[in-house]
Amino acid sequence: MESKKMIDEYVSNVVKTTNMSEEWQRLVLRQPVVLSGYVVATFKKHFFAKDWERVFLELRCTTLVFHSKEMGQKEELFSFPLEFSQVEYSVKNRTVTCFYSDKMSFTIKPEADKYKCWRESILSAAELQAVSMKDFEVLKVIGKGATGAVYLAIEKATGAKVAIKVMEKSRMSNEKALKRLINERLTLELVGQNPFFVKLHSAFQSEENLYIVTEYCSGGDLEKYMRERNYHLSSKQLKQIVAETVVALEDLHQNGIVYRDLKPENILLDSKGHVKLADFGLSKFIGVDPILTQSFCGTLGYLAPEVVEGKRYGFNVDKYSLGCLLFMLIVGRTPYYAKNREKYFKSVTSGRLFFPEEVSADAQSLIRSLMEVDGAKRMSFGEMKEHPFFSGVSWEAVYSRNQGFLRDVRDVHRERQMSCDSLASLERSRGTASRPRKEGFWDGSLSKVMGSMFHGEKKLPKNPTIPGFLFSSASMEAFSRDGSVVSTVSTD
């Protein structure tokens, strides 16, 4: 019952019929504008119909955004994803109508000279072809988790290696798994093109599975890299890894996201050894002016005292985990460890730290400042960058990522071990495709949510000025059919 309530709230607050939540608004407004201008519009839901009114309308890739503002009131935004809508039009009446069900629709009526442009653009957006496993050649399994596995694959069109996270719907029939999925999906879009995070390639679904395709980081995760080298880094390498992690966390927080699972296993390395954060299942959007949260989540060894004590917390828990990470990279273990969970929690809340002799005075100082028991006393990112530990670090070079610093990074999955044309044949060989699905959980409202988030998104042509959603060049080609629409058009 709780799952259904949560799903219904998500549909109503995020997908279409009501004001956009702050999180969804930030995502949608990062999509490039394909077409914009004033139109006359009317909305219908059940037996309620809103009178025709003049609104400012934007088509952002495959989402229509209505800007509505009444006298003396704050502007409201309403979003309508077009991927799973039915579109009808009347040349005679000069209208375009989008249906989401037999109970809900909206109709727009542009000016006569702009009608064809709006009609063709909306039709193109609603008819975009989804990505599927046919677009990839699967090579091998590179990771496994509670809800599925991660595969190394090649995109047939480009020859580029990608990582495909496959989540079996049969293993996700509960609220917690669904929340983690939504968190990861939305966070990947919020971080957009930032080089300190794995980039989202596409997201789509089949009857049995959900798929998230991201860039492939050939260096593997930091935990494996450190373990193979007996947890030994030079001073320069250590500083660079921590500095890049600082920049990544700072960007997450500026986007209103608390990470909540910083650890070496979630830090991936690209071909030059640069840091990329991954696995955002425990991340949470709490806003730029944060609304504190209270969930108990994370990884033992990296949990902040406020999480252990069940207090409300915000961004500062990530700074505590950063202190634990620095300790781990130097010593080879986390600051606190105990076989008994209760003893471990007691050590965390005590704040007592003991450093082996290999931890320098500057590193000790930084770790203590990050692992303050009182989260409010943990240093800011600005203070971190000025700390003596980072002496000799050029923050400009950190941001630019021009030079690699881990010279011995290699492609950890360079050996080709298996080949198949589709994931379906791979799943049959592993016996996972026939797993029973929980009846009813993936029907109704949830299927629409997943249709919106995993419909099969495409990538835009490479354009560093577009930081948001990733779609394919095919989507832009569709928008420019017959020369009716170009990538950015204002009909105002």
Query: What are the binding residues for ATP?
Result: 165
Question: Largest alpha-carbon pair distance within the chain?
Answer: 82
The partner residues of 105 in beta bridges, in order of sequence, read: 44, 99
As given in the structure block, the two tokens for residue 226 are 């450190």
Burial 366-400 (b: 16+ CB within 10 A, else e): bbebbbbbebeebbebeebbebebbeebeeeebee
Residues 6+ apart with CB under 8 A from 312: 292, 293, 294, 306
Among 216, 311, 302, which residue's Cα sits nearest to residue 259? 302
Exposed, middle or buried, 363 (CB in 10 Å: 0-12/13-18/19+)?
buried
Q: What angle do CA 279, 338, 312 make, to 5 degrees?
A: 55
Interatomic CA distance for residues 223 and 329, integer angstroms: 9
Residues that constitute the known binding site: 165
* Residue owning tokens 């060989």: 429
- Are 20 and 68 in contact by the 8 Å Cβ rule? The answer is no
Pairing mode, if any, of strands 33-45 and 489-490?
Answer: parallel
| Of residues 87, 173, 202, the one with CA closest to residue 446 | 173
Does the active-site annotation cover 261?
yes
- What are the Cα distances from residue 243, in Å, to 78, 398, 426? 39, 7, 40
Question: Sign of torsion, CA 11 13 16 18?
Answer: positive
Bridge partner list, 144: 149
Dihedral angle sign, alpha carbons of residues 246, 248, 254, 260: negative
Q: Are 199 and 213 in contact (CB under 8 A)?
A: no
Select which of 135, 251, 261, 318 is catalytic: 261
- Positions marked active-site: 261
